[in-house]
Amino acid sequence: MTDSAGRARELRRAQTQPAIHVGPGEQPQLAAAVERGGGALSALPGADGVVWADLRPDSLPELPASVRWVQLSIAGIERWLARIEATPAVTFTSAAGVYAQPVAEHALALLLAGVRGLATSARARGWQPTETGVLTGSTVAIVGAGGIGRALIELLRPHRVEIVAVTRSGYDVAGAARTLPAARIGEVWSAADHVVIAAPATEATRRMVGACELRAMRSHAWLVNVARGTLVDTDALVAALRERSIAGAALDVTDPEPLPDEHPLWTLPNAIVTPHVASPPAAEAALLAQRVRENVERLAAGEPLLAPIDAERGY
């Protein structure tokens, strides 16, 4: 930000100090972020905005007419859509992009674990050398090149992979060799050595990876999912893993979730499952506080808020 732009923002902030309610209960880190952003902590009645840290839509009380903004603590907001649609006068913002770095780091770890055979070696009970692949020089498709996808592209740069990005619009993504619109996603499955799913969960993306897509993938391909479990047809994936039509799948999210203890994904040798831990809670708190501070500053200055939710798009 230039000095003149910064001074202009400070002047606008001085003219209006938004009243922000933080909840539920005490949230000291988020409350401090509100104050650093130029807001004043407030009870819910009379508040201009609400910072809400509970994941459940029914936990948010009825909003008074004064509230014009609600900051949620999550990026995947599919469970909140009905509440958002029922409150059209209020701008809801998500945590989209907030947790991109730790989730991208986890996606890279899952991809390397699969390609390099780490899951097989970790489960071995003796000295059993196995044939593995290498990530360097491969083609990786990233389906959903938003915050997580772009962060992953940067992490993949030292591995000299070719990136094929898929976005809703198909506009060029920095670092990708080519970018395809969602309408052309069918071209991805056979073109990539490995596929990472990082797209939002919407009706359009539900079970986007099914039996046909898995059959089209290369036999040495690994599928990594750090988005939502509903983007992958679990039964079709289990069948593909059993048939070894793909090399394996590494999942931080599943459908159903939590994954039942007796589910075959836990025991299939070419499956890696982590229990939705790509974004560690300790890191999340500090990252969310940064977003809260920035959005409070923007609200005070009359500037567009970060990550506004479009209920029609579903994210």
68-107 pLDDT, tens digit per residue, is 999 999 998 999 999 999 999 999 999 999 999 999 999 9
Catalytic one of 187, 257, 284, 294: 257
Assess whether 262 and 124 both reside in one domain: yes
Assess whether 295 and 266 both reside in one domain: no
Catalytic one of 12, 159, 207, 276: 276
Assess whether 74 and 58 both reside in one domain: yes
| Domain-embedded: residue 309 | no
**Model confidence at 4: pLDDT above 80:** no
Q: Average pLDDT in the 102-126 region?
A: 95
What contacts 137, CB < 8 A, 6 or more positions away? 160, 161
Continuous segment of H or E residues that includes residue 285: helix 281-301
Assess whether 67 and 109 both reside in one domain: no
CB of 68 closer than 8 Å to CB of 39: no
Question: DSSP label at 232?
Answer: B
**Model confidence at 9: pLDDT above 70:** no
Annotated active-site residue 228? The verdict is yes
Its domain, for residue 59, covers 3-98+281-301
In the chain, where do the E strands start and end?
19-23, 40-41, 49-52, 69-72, 91-93, 139-143, 162-167, 178-181, 194-197, 222-225, 248-251, 271-273
Q: What is the pLDDT of residues 231-288, one digit of tens each?
A: 999 999 999 999 999 999 999 999 999 999 999 999 999 999 999 999 988 889 999 9
Q: How many domains does the chain have?
A: 2
**Model confidence at 7: pLDDT above 80:** no
Continuous segment of H or E residues that includes residue 109: helix 100-115
Assess whether 108 and 94 both reside in one domain: no
**Which has more pLDDT, 284 or 36?**
36
With a threshold of 0.85, does the pTM exceed it?
yes
Catalytic one of 9, 21, 194, 228: 228
CA within 13 Å, CB half, 285: 8
d(CA 1, CA 50): 26
| Both tokens assigned to 191 | 């073109």
- 3-class DSSP state of 6: helix
| Domain-embedded: residue 194 | yes
C-alpha distances (whole Å) from 3 to each of 8, 17, 84, 302, 308 are: 9, 21, 37, 18, 27
- 3-class DSSP state of 257: coil
Annotated active-site residue 276? The verdict is yes
| Domain-embedded: residue 239 | yes
| Both tokens assigned to 108 | 């890279």
| Domain-embedded: residue 53 | yes
